[in-house]
Amino acid sequence: MSNIRLVALVAGVLMSVLTIELMRRKSLREKYAVLWLLLSGFVLLLAVVPGLLLWFANLFGFALAANFVFFLAIFGLFALAMQFSVEVGRVEHEVGTLAEELALLRNEVENVKSELQGQRGFE
């Protein structure tokens, strides 16, 4: 097996093992678990099947198979980063909502406390 295929195989295996272990520890939410599993599977597939990568590259009109790999990786990371941006924005918004509710709750509790103390004061 050529060096490069060996490297790809090791990378694919490492990715799969890491993904599965993180899934076991519940560190990956289902949507990301599926994504990373598919990704690792794809890397493994390319590493194991000779000529598959070249076939794909030619199919899409890339002059070099390497260009295709870089393109996929960059595009994939771009999409992932975009997804994270959206999610972080949403989570920030939710945290803000929770913070506001907390403040309102504190205010309510303080009012109830004063009310109770006021009543006791008149006894």
Partner 1 sequence: MLANQISRVPARPLIVVPALNEEATLPKVLAELATLVPNFSIVVVDDGSFDDTKSVSQTRGIQCLRIPINIGVGGAMQAGFVYAMRNGFDAVVQVDGDGQHPVSTVPALVEALATSDVVVGSRFKNETGFRVSWIRRVVMRFLAAVLSRILKTELTDVTSGFRASGPRAIEVFAELYPRQYLGDTVESLVVAHRHGLSVSEISATFRPRQGGVPSQSNLAATLYVGRAVIVLLLALVHKKQ
The footprint of partner 1 on residues 71-110 (CB under 8 A) is 94, 97-98, 100-101
One of 29, 66, 75, 87 touching partner 1 (CB under 8 A): 29
**For the chain, what is the radius of gyration of the CA atoms?**
26
Closest CB to partner 1 among residues 13, 33? 33
CA triple 50-64-68, angle to 5 deg: 75
Count Cα atoms within 13 angstroms, Cβ side, for 71: 12
One of 2, 3, 30, 63 touching partner 1 (CB under 8 A): 30
Closest CB to partner 1 among residues 31, 52? 31
* CA dihedral for 101, 103, 107, 110, sign (positive or negative): positive
Cα separation, 50 vs 37, in Å, equals: 21
Closest CB to partner 1 among residues 20, 54? 20
Provide the binding-site residues for partner 1, judged by CB under 8 A: 20, 23-26, 29-30, 33-34, 94, 97-98, 100-101
